């Protein structure tokens, strides 16, 4: 399986290039940390613009400090609410995975959590979480034929048993797309918004890895690593743009009405 770094424009072919990117991200990124019983996770987010990021995590314990992980990231625009949910942490590996059910939907899935050091999971106890989730494509192709929508773990497909729990097959009709440029590598990328039936989701693709020509109404098939960021209450309030005047004024008061 190729590296998901390629989806955001970085060619990571060996251990040396992996370590070099981790060092660069740690020097240029914004720091955060999260305390745990056995140690402390030191996160670093290097933002490249247009939602592109590189994350590194250092794990500190009584035995010392070492790089635990370096990974690509993308903060998309599509938000999903999950409840119930759980966060699975692998502290010494610097990894965290969210498993949750999409609110008011039968869909449940898993994604890698990028910003575990920017949030406190206890702040969300016993209530839904909101996350922006996107797929970083290993490979993708365009079809002009109408196909069956698919959103399922890649390991459930024939010949893909060694993939991770956060690798998914995504197939759906293209709703829109936008071009993204990685300013560090000069790579041209695409963020494609896809209706995969069970879910509408953004998929980030390196332009060189996309087979076929993008067209309105065409279908995208991709194998992608799902990752996302939990959105804090403060970030949600920052997205608030005022009252929706298309909603009848009487509906504003319905949620405030008390039964007598």
Q: Where are the domains of the chain?
A: 4-73
Question: For the residues 147-156, what does the mean pLDDT come to?
Answer: 94
Per-residue pLDDT at 137: 97
| Cα–Cα distances in angstroms (integers) from residue 139 to residues 112, 148, 167, 251, in the given order | 18, 18, 12, 45
Per-residue pLDDT at 68: 75
Q: Using alpha carbons only, what angle is made at residue 112 by residues 109 and 117, rounded to the nearest 5 degrees? A: 130
In tens, the pLDDT along 240-253 reads 555 555 556 655 55
Of 190, 183, 182, 180, the closest CA to residue 212 belongs to 190
Per-residue pLDDT at 158: 73
Per-residue pLDDT at 46: 98
Per-residue pLDDT at 250: 59
* pLDDT value at 257 more than 80: no
In tens, the pLDDT along 165-213 reads 999 999 999 999 999 999 999 999 999 999 999 999 999 999 999 999 9
In tens, the pLDDT along 9-57 reads 999 999 999 999 999 999 999 999 999 888 899 999 999 999 999 999 9
What distance in Å separates the CA atoms of residue 34 and residue 41, rounded to the nearest whole number?
5
User: Which residues, 6 or more positions from 253, have their beta carbon under 8 angstroms from its beta carbon?
Assistant: none
Question: For the residues 121-135, what does the mean pLDDT come to?
Answer: 94
Dihedral, CA atoms, 153, 159, 164, 167, nearest 10 degrees?
-40
Find out whether 201 and 85 touch, Cβ atoms under 8 Å: no
Per-residue pLDDT at 241: 53
| Mean pLDDT for all residues in the chain | 90
Question: For the residues 147-152, what does the mean pLDDT come to?
Answer: 95
Residue spans of alpha helices (H) in 11-122: 15-28
Per-residue pLDDT at 55: 97
Burial of 17: CB neighbours in 10 Å, binned 0-12, 13-18, 19+:
middle
Instruction: Using the Cα atoms of residue 226, residue 6, residue 149 and residue 130 in order, give the sign of their dihedral.
Output: positive
Find out whether 98 and 111 touch, Cβ atoms under 8 Å: yes
Model pTM score: 0.88
Per-residue pLDDT at 197: 96
In tens, the pLDDT along 51-107 reads 999 999 999 988 887 777 899 999 999 999 999 999 999 877 889 999 999 999 999
Cα atoms in the 13 Å half-sphere on the side-chain side of 108:
8
Per-residue pLDDT at 19: 92
What distance in Å separates the CA atoms of residue 108 and residue 106, rounded to the nearest whole number?
7
User: Which residues, 6 or more positions from 206, have their beta carbon under 8 angstroms from its beta carbon?
Assistant: 6, 7, 8, 9, 137, 187, 188, 189
Q: How many whole angstroms from its chain centre is CA 211?
A: 23
């Amino acid at each position: 399986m190729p590296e998901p770094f390629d989806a955001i424009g970085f060619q990571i072919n060996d251990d040396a290039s992996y370590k070099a990117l981790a060092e660069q991200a740690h020097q240029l990124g914004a720091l955060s940390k999260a305390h745990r019983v056995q140690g402390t996770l030191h996160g670093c987010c290097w933002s490249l613009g247009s939602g592109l990021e590189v994350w590194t995590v250092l794990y500190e314990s009584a035995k010392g400090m070492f790089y635990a992980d370096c990974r690509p990231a993308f903060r998309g625009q599509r938000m999903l609410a999950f409840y119930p949910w759980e966060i699975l942490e692998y502290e010494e590996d610097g990894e965290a995975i969210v498993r949750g059910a999409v609110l008011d939907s039968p869909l449940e899935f898993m994604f890698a959590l990028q910003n575990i050091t920017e949030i406190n999971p206890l702040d969300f106890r016993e209530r839904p979480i909101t996350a922006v989730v996107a797929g970083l494509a290993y490979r993708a192709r365009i079809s002009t034929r109408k196909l069956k929508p698919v959103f399922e773990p890649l390991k459930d497909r024939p010949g893909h048993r060694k993939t991770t729990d956060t690798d998914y097959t995504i197939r759906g009709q293209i709703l829109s797309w936008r071009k993204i440029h990685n300013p560090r590598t000069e790579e041209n990328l695409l963020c494609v918004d896809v209706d995969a039936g069970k879910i509408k989701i953004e998929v980030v693709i390196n332009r060189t890895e996309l087979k076929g020509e993008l067209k309105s109404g065409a279908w995208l098939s991709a194998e992608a690593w799902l990752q996302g960021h939990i959105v804090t209450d403060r970030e949600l309030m920052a997205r608030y743009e005022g009252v929706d005047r298309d909603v009848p004024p009487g509906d504003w008061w319905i949620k405030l009405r008390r039964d007598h």
